[in-house]
Structure 1
Amino acid sequence: MRADYTIKDDGALSEEQRLDHHWTENWKKIGNRRRSQWRIKVRPEYKVVRKFAPPAGTDVRVLDGGSGLGEWCILLRDLGYEPYGLDLSTPTIESLRREFPAMNFVREDIRATSFEDNFFDLYISWGTFEHFENGLTDCFKEAYRVLKPGGTLIISVPFYNQRLKEIDAKQGKPEKSGDTEFYQWRLEPHELSEEFKINGFDCKHVEPIYTREGIGRHLHHEYGIPYGNFTRFTSMALNPFANPNKFAHMLIGVAIKI
């Protein structure tokens, strides 16, 4: 695993307050522009969910841990599931409750939710488990608690890919300093598989995703090319020939609660 750090925010905030602030500001930058369903359906996460998720039904409960603008919950509802959205951003959850009063959106910490034991059939979480400095274990333990026996957990986490390993071999891994604070963990495929295993899950699938986005990051960080049309179209052109193990930005994993 490899830790990433970011410039420290002003003020003394708890980890929960910092994450609340971070994600609230993140959704503000996006401008609350919720992705349409067709955009979700071309994402790699959707393909994995459709392959491994239980059949839809109004009694099939799904938790989206780190639900953001609620787009996945809306899609899951339209597919026939009973979705629950959970996020740390208070303004975002309040806005979703006003917009979708009949849906289930809660402001809670995914490490300690108020849901009953064995409540959900499926738990999805995109880029969330990695944001706690003491590791992913608390997120996995809570996921295990709220999932039914045989329930499915599908998560994505940042990938500690070969490109980053090569950089770290030359420069050393990032280290925490006085003006930085923890941001996230990056994992290798075998580490994600092991996290599932030690927390009571049977790992069924792990794969790298978002190779094109990783190429864009490579062009930006290693060559100083600003993000824009050049990096976008160059990434698209190189993507079919690129090695996902070197460039992919994320990992996605699927596991079953034993």
Structure 2
Amino acid sequence: MTEEQVRRAYVSRAAEYTARLGSIADMHELDLQRISAWAEPISGPILDAGCGPGQWTDFLHRHGAEISGIDLVPEFVETARLRFPDVSFAKGSLQALEVADGSLQGILAWYSLIHFSPEELPSILAELARVLAPQGRLLVGFFDGKAGESFSHAVTTAYFHSVAEMSGLLRDAGFDVFDVETRQDPGSRPHAALSAIRR
């Protein structure tokens, strides 16, 4: 899917999405633990890449992280700024980040890559690698399943990615994966999270 198609799909349901999934109280306790533990050793700027309505950005900000958020959907950015005025949010594309080479120490890409097919991911991951400093940390959350299999996500078409596939794509983009989590919660699609370091 094109970014414009994804943007339009989320624009039409941004308020509904925020109401259902825009609060940290709605997030899984294991995700809270994983994301806070991932960010804790990072000293320096972190980008929440695809921040949605900003709940994870604010969560890490309140835990002391130097973090900002970007999202493709203007409605999400406006909502995040209203809800969390102490945090910086901007409209932006993962395909062309307005960030200097090697200037970040961390990137959180929590379910923000799910609308990209396996063929589209290499250029996205290369862009994330470009803006991360050597030894910078990346955390990716996604739906675990058969690599490249599409499904009807609540908002618009999304893709499953296997751990092996995502790990290989990250290695090819210049990352070393150092931690893998998979989980199957009742009533939810299988979850995976990969932590990686920029070589």
For normalisation by structure 1, the TM-score amounts to 0.66
Matches within 5 A, 1:1-258: 15-32=2-19, 34-36=22-24, 39-40=26-27, 42-55=28-41, 60-133=44-117, 134-160=119-145, 183-209=157-183, 211-212=184-185, 215-216=186-187, 249-258=190-199
In percent, how many aligned pairs have the same letter? 23
1:46-105 per-position Cα deviation (integer Å, ceiling 9, x unaligned): 322233334366xx2111111111011111111111111111111221233344444211
Distance 1:137 1:130, change over 3 A: farther
Contact 2:39 2:65 in 1 (8 A): no
Change (3 A) 1:27 1:254: same
Larger Rg: 1
C-alpha contact 2:105 2:133 (8 A) present in aligned 1: yes
Q: Which has the higher helix share?
A: 1
SS in 1 for 2:108: strand
With over 3 angstroms needed to count, the CA separation of the structure-2 counterparts of 1:154 and 1:74, relative to structure 1, is same
**Structure 1, unpaired ranges of 5+:** 1-13, 166-172, 176-181, 218-247
Letter matched to residue 159 of structure 2: W
Q: For each residue in 1:106-146, what CA deviation from the matched residue of structure 2 results, as whole angstroms up to 9, or x when unmatched?
A: 11111211011112111111112231244211221111011
Structure 2 residues not aligned, in runs of 5+: none
By relative contact order (CA 8 Å, sep 6+), the higher-ranking structure is: 1
Q: Residues 196 and 101 of structure 1: is their aligned pair in 2 closer, same or farther, counting only changes over 3 Å?
A: same
Give the TM-score taking structure 2 as reference length.
0.83
